[in-house]
Amino acid sequence: MIFNLSGFSLLSFFLIILIGIMLLLIPNMTEKTVVFGVRVPPSKLELPIFATLKKQYRSYVAILIVIFGIGSLLIPPSLVLIQALLTLLFLAPFFAIYLKEHYALERAKKEGGWYDDVVTRSEAELTINGAGLQVWIYFVPGLLILAILFVAGALLYPSIPGIFATHFGANGQPNGFSTKSIWSVFGTGFVGLVVSTFLIALTYVTYRTPLSIDPSIPQSNTRLRIFRKTFVVTIGLILVGLNLVFLITSLMIWGIVAIGPYGGVVLVLAPLFAILVILTLILFRTGQLGSNLKLKGDAVEPEGPNQEDNFVRKDDDVFWKAGMIYVNKDDKRLFVPKRFGVGYTLNFGRPGSWIFIIGIIAIPVVIIVLTLALR
């Protein structure tokens, strides 16, 4: 960590605003037939309850953003822990709001017998749309930044003093020092290497997972193909953002980039926030499983009595606890598309998902150990 915890005031403010906006947008990014984690037949989507619940969700989340946004600025820097926890605390009332809308809709679905008068059909990919994607290309920019870090470090190594600053306060003054070694000079780079490997491996595992198809959604195959590409591009962008942070941090430690008051925090977080904003825009435009894509031929209504258009997707709510947690022992897939959000979530019916969670916890532990080794 390059900045002092007192810099969290600004950090948590921007994080809360950014996360808040993302949460506000989620109902407009999900599959068209999944609302607040409830599977709905397309014919029922015009019912007034949907607009009511969405409006309610938006106003509640907006209130949350205002309260926590102001709160993050008001908490004195001495209460560092509360500052740090504020972003996490923000998510608790948000989940309460989600659950309220989820159960309200689930009740309406049950009472209205929404699936009583529809003909259901199951459809799934036998071959994967977009499997031929040249995935590695999208990781080149991020890995290039990491390569620059290691090359620059190797070139600068002789000129780095025996004892050098590795930690800076929010005011830009150094407050932590290390003796020169491969670990202290390249520590941040190694963290970048671990994180990049993990993200790339994760992408290769997830993007080729076969997916279900909603027969009521036109041009599903095209949508899934574009969605898969968007997903890989998104991870590629995250890789760029994170490795930029690691590169800038390293340059600061090596004394190449001088930082003024708060300069460190701004310099490190600016690329990350910029990437997060771009990411949100890309994900919004595509939508979960390509649901927001405007495709050629979407406007053309199929003519004549086309029996196939009356089919709706089988109700799969039973596999989703609270509409959010997927548990299906009969499903071999470790990753399945999220219901409330864009991207993938774990299948908790598989033991692998627990191993994955442990792995997720292990990575920060590795980073902390490396950081301690740096000091």
Partner 1 sequence: MVNLTIEINSRIPIHRQIYDQIKSFVSTGELKSGERIPSSRTMAGTLEVNYHTVNQAYQMLWKDGIINLEKGKKYVVAETRLGKNMCTDFEKREKEIIKEAIENGMSENEVLQVVQTILDRRNEGVKQ
The residues of the shown chain that bind partner 1, judged by CB under 8 A, are: 119-127, 129, 209-213, 215, 219-222, 314, 316, 319, 328, 330-333, 336, 347
> What sign has the CA pseudo-torsion 350, 338, 273, 72?
negative
Q: Which is nearer to partner 1, 121 or 167 (CB)?
A: 121
For the bound state, the minimum distance from the C-beta of residue 120 to partner 1, rounded and expressed in Å, comes to 5
Q: Which residue has the tokens 């520590």?
A: 187
3-state secondary structure of 38: strand
- The residue among 98 and 227 lying less far from partner 1, judged by its C-beta, is 227
When the beta carbons of 159 and 307 are compared against partner 1, the nearer one is 307
Tokens of 360: 């997720």
Which one, 126 or 372, has the nearer CB to partner 1? Answer: 126
List CB contacts of 250: < 8 A, sequence separation 6 or more: 149, 152, 153, 186, 188, 189
Region label for 255, one of left (φ > 0), alpha (ψ between -120 and 50) or beta (otherwise): left
Taking the complex as a whole, how short is the minimal distance between the CB of residue 200 and partner 1, in angstroms? 22
Q: Shortest Cβ distance from residue 32 to partner 1 (Å)?
A: 18
Closest distance to partner 1 from the beta carbon of 109 (Å):
17
Q: Each residue of 269-286: b (16+ CB within 10 Å) or e?
A: bebbbebbeebbeebeeb
- Indicate the residue among 28 and 122 with the shorter CB distance to partner 1: 122
CB of 108 to partner 1, least distance (A): 23
Long-range contacts of 237-240 (CB under 8 A, 24+ apart): 237/275, 237/278, 237/279, 237/282, 238/142, 238/199, 238/275, 238/279, 239/139, 239/141, 239/142, 239/143, 239/196, 239/199, 239/200, 240/141, 240/142, 240/145, 240/275
Instruction: For the CB of residue 209, give the shortest distance to partner 1 in the complex, in Å.
Output: 8
Residue (89 or 128) nearer to partner 1, CB? 128
